[in-house]
Amino acid sequence: MKQRAELIVLADEVVTCAGKGTPKNKDEAAQVGLISNGAVVLNDGRITEVGSRHKILQKWTGDRLELENTSVIPGLVDPHCHPIWAGDRKHEFALRAQGATYEEIHAAGGGIAHTVEATRKASDKQLKSKTLEILEYMMAHGTTTLEAKSGYGLSVEEELRHLEILKKVNRESAMDLVSTCLGAHSIPPEFKDDRAGFVRLVTEEMLPAVKEKELADFADVFCERGAFTCEESRQVLEAAKALGFGLRIHAEEFSNLGGSRMAGELGAASCDHLQHIHEDDFQALKDGGTIPTVIPGTSFFLALDVYAPARKLWDAGLPVALGTDYNAGSCLLPSMQMAMSLAVLQMKMTPEEALTAATYNAAHSLGWGHKIGSIEPGKQADLVVLNTSSWKDAIYRFGGNAVRAVIKKGVVLNTILRSPLGAPL
């Protein structure tokens, strides 16, 4: 007698991305677990079984999601995102087209500071509404779990407010959020003549308050010229580590200050951007168990002539993750599909590496590798059904949206494509 399932998902291809429980290196990433004419059995929000259509249908009965010319991949995991902010920076978009660089705009008081000003003025209702809209749009493009950074408040009161809003958003959105306190995103205007004072504020007041209220799993810092020095960044990360936060770091985006080596020394979960990482920095990441997270969308959006050396990172044996860096001004990219396309086109990843970086390894960078990032029995039933019989077409056909359906915790979502870039708050 057949067993009854809540839902059986059938497709021309099922790509499991199954692994051994640890982040995947290059050789492991090449094995994506492709099942032709595959099926996935879902019960109670979890994956019960995965295998061939013939095998599954011999054993199971129940409701089916069977769409022609489709493939199934794990729900996409975005491990680097800034979803909560107000206003826009379209004027900077035009300035860059005229030759201004991100760093020049930032130094002149634009960039992050401009968004901080607008975000501080926005109400809780406005920020929550816009963030939910952004998440809906990203989920419609296949993202089912998101690392959500604060960082546009830059005061104790504002950072707590934004993280509280993210907590409410996490309860209301179908998407899972992993929150990160990025209070050390930039020096706010009121501390421009007292950098040390702001670092003390972050380490002695902000991070303890965030921890007390249990508002974030991770702490982050922007270690970069024009933002925080390596020494200042170390103070922030060491204070965060002492409080029990997981560590993330923006490093080597426009220059090499030694942030990636420091990330490895401190055992950071993730070290992100890395356009200017040196090959002799790789060993520190290995030694620290730190996952390098590359973000090709930022180089593309800012028209930079350098991308993170993802090919070299993979070849050196490191488990690479991939993110969008969706944010207010330097990367308005909501789609992990496009991030994967750029990873192949500009970073010379294989499609298999790009998918692994956007699912399995991204999940591990968030500490969630045990429950998401692959289609394996016992894991959360987060799946994406693509409107192509070959999963690779979702990467090959860059710039579009190949999502036919999103399944989150076993529920088939009726996502509505809607732009989050409407009237500024």
- What are the angstrom distances between the C-alpha of 410 and each of 46, 57, 133, 375, 383? 6, 18, 22, 12, 8
Whether the pLDDT of residue 238 is over 90: the answer is: yes
Q: What is the pLDDT of residues 8-21, one digit of tens each?
A: 999 999 999 999 99
> Which residues of the chain form CATH 3.20.20.140?
76-365
> Which residues of the chain form CATH 2.30.40.10?
3-74+372-413
303-332 average pLDDT score? 96
Q: What are phi and psi of 407, to 5 degrees?
A: -115, 120
| Superfamily of domain 76-365, CATH level 4 | Metal-dependent hydrolases (3.20.20.140)
Identify the three-state secondary structure at position 16: coil
b/e sequence 155-179, b meaning 16+ C-beta within 10 Å:
bbebbbbbbebbbebbeebebbbbb
Model confidence at 107, pLDDT cuts 50, 70, 90, reads low
Q: What is the pLDDT of residues 157-191, one digit of tens each?
A: 999 999 999 999 999 999 999 999 999 999 999 99
Whether the pLDDT of residue 417 is over 60: the answer is: no
pLDDT at res. 98: 76
pLDDT at res. 177: 98
pLDDT at res. 65: 95
Whether the pLDDT of residue 68 is over 80: the answer is: yes
Q: What is the pLDDT of residues 257-293, one digit of tens each?
A: 999 999 999 999 999 999 999 999 999 999 999 999 9
pLDDT at res. 251: 98
For the chain, the average pLDDT equals 94
Model confidence at 111, pLDDT cuts 50, 70, 90, reads confident
329-336 average pLDDT score? 94
Share of the chain above pLDDT 90, in %: 90
- What is the distance, to the nearest Å, from the Cα of residue 142 to the centroid of all Cα atoms in its chain? 12
Domain spanning 3-74+372-413 has what CATH number? 2.30.40.10
Model confidence at 416, pLDDT cuts 50, 70, 90, reads very low
The model carries a pTM of 0.95
- Start-to-end C-alpha separation, the chain: 58
Q: What is the pLDDT of residues 200-210, one digit of tens each?
A: 999 999 999 99
pLDDT at res. 109: 63
406, β-bridge pairs:
384, 413
Flag the least confident range among 101-110, 118-127, 318-327, 336-345. 101-110
Share of the chain above pLDDT 70, in %: 95
Say how far apart CA 126 and CA 133 lie, in whole Å. 11
pLDDT at res. 92: 76
pLDDT at res. 9: 97
pLDDT at res. 119: 96
Whether the pLDDT of residue 255 is over 80: the answer is: yes
Identify the three-state secondary structure at position 152: coil
pLDDT at res. 108: 59
